[in-house]
Structure formats: structure tokens, C-alpha cells
Amino acid sequence: MSIDRNLALAASAALLASLLAGLLAFHYWESVKLLAAGFALVSIGALSRYPERFARESFGFELGVFFALCSSFALGLFGVAVGACYSIAAGWVAREPPQDTLVGLLCIALVSFLAALVGPGDVLLYGLGFVFLYDLLCLGIYSFMGHSVFGGMKFMAGHMLWSYVVFSLWGEKLVALLSNL
């Protein structure tokens, strides 16, 4: 009888260990999916700024703010990390001066944080509102630093137009996709 009891105990321990391993693998898989999605969004967003290496001015045709806001709507504070990583990577890709990268980092972190607090809703309306806030913050800081207000207004106009296009075409779809990770 002691063999049967030892066998039952070993089988129970093996079952418990396999359940724990399965739970850890499931949790790990969810983290891997989340990190892979974040890496993809940051990479695509930063690469969308590559043409700025060759232009004298930026006209706001980029995907990073869109990705950061959609991540914040769908995943909460993870969107702040996406926005911060995007800002640093985009500064490197576009060869921005460090102070310009810092301005973008501060603005996107604040706006992504506020978007995470608001959560999902009307993605187009909230998205454009937060893009407008981001642009106003950047314009104010850059003006204070001595940059051209007219150049900032050109960026703002192009960025708002581009943001309307991407939020209206892909905003709801991206938020739904990220929500299901």
C-alpha cells in the first residue's frame, strides 16, 4: 500500500508541477506577445521618421504618436513606454539634437499618460484631441527654446491632417487588435 500512496503522491506532484509550468508558460507567452507588439510599434514608428534625415523641416507625417496613443487607449500605461521608446528611437533615426528628442519624450510621455487615464472611447475624437495637445505642448516648448512659431504651425497643420487620416483609417482597428493581445 505504501507504493500506491507514493505513486499517487508523485503523480499529484507531477500534475501540480505541470499545471504551474503551464501557467508560467501562458503568462510568459502573454508578456512575449506584448513586448513583440511594443517593439514592432516602436520600430515602425521610428522608421517613419527616417525621411526627416534628408529634409530641413518636419511636416508631421509620422506614425509614432498614433502608435503611442493607440497603445495607451488599449493597454494603459504600456502606451507610455511605447511612446517613450519611440521618441528616443525616432530621435536617433531622424538624427535630432538631444534637446529636441527630450522635448518629444516629455510631450509624448505626458500625452500618453493622459490617454491611458482616459482609456478607450471614441478613438478618432480622443486621438485627435491628444494629438492636438501634443502639438500644442511641443509648439510651446519649442517656441520658448527659440524655434520658429511659423515652422511649428506648419508641423502642427501637417501632423493634424496626417493624424486624422491614420486615426480614421486604422485607429479603431489598431486599438481592437492591441486590446486582444
Say how far apart CA 68 and CA 55 lie, in whole Å: 24
Q: Please check whether residue 67 lies inside any domain of the structure.
A: yes
Q: Which residue has the higher pLDDT, 103 or 19?
A: 103
Q: What is the number of structural domains in the chain?
A: 1
Q: Is the pLDDT confidence value at 10 over 70?
A: no
Say how far apart CA 113 and CA 111 lie, in whole Å: 5
Q: Please check whether residue 106 lies inside any domain of the structure.
A: yes
pLDDT at 55: 83
**Which H or E run contains 90?**
helix 78-93
pLDDT in tens, 124-175: 999 999 999 999 999 999 999 998 899 889 999 999 999 999 999 999 999 9
Say how far apart CA 140 and CA 143 lie, in whole Å: 5
Q: Please check whether residue 15 lies inside any domain of the structure.
A: no
Q: Please check whether residue 2 lies inside any domain of the structure.
A: no
Q: Please check whether residue 74 lies inside any domain of the structure.
A: yes
pLDDT at 1: 47
Give the domain range for residue 64: 38-179
Q: Please check whether residue 1 lies inside any domain of the structure.
A: no
**Mean pLDDT score across all residues of the chain:** 89
Q: Please check whether residue 66 lies inside any domain of the structure.
A: yes
pLDDT at 136: 97
Q: List, in order, residues 6 or more apart from 79 with CB less than 8 Å away.
A: 68, 69, 70, 71, 72, 73, 112, 115, 116
pLDDT at 42: 94
| Residue 33's pLDDT band (cuts 50, 70, 90) | confident
As a whole-number percent, the residues of the chain with pLDDT over 70 amount to 90
Q: List, in order, residues 6 or more apart from 126 with CB less than 8 Å away.
A: 69, 73, 115, 118
Q: Please check whether residue 129 lies inside any domain of the structure.
A: yes
Q: Which residue has the higher pLDDT, 167 or 120?
A: 167
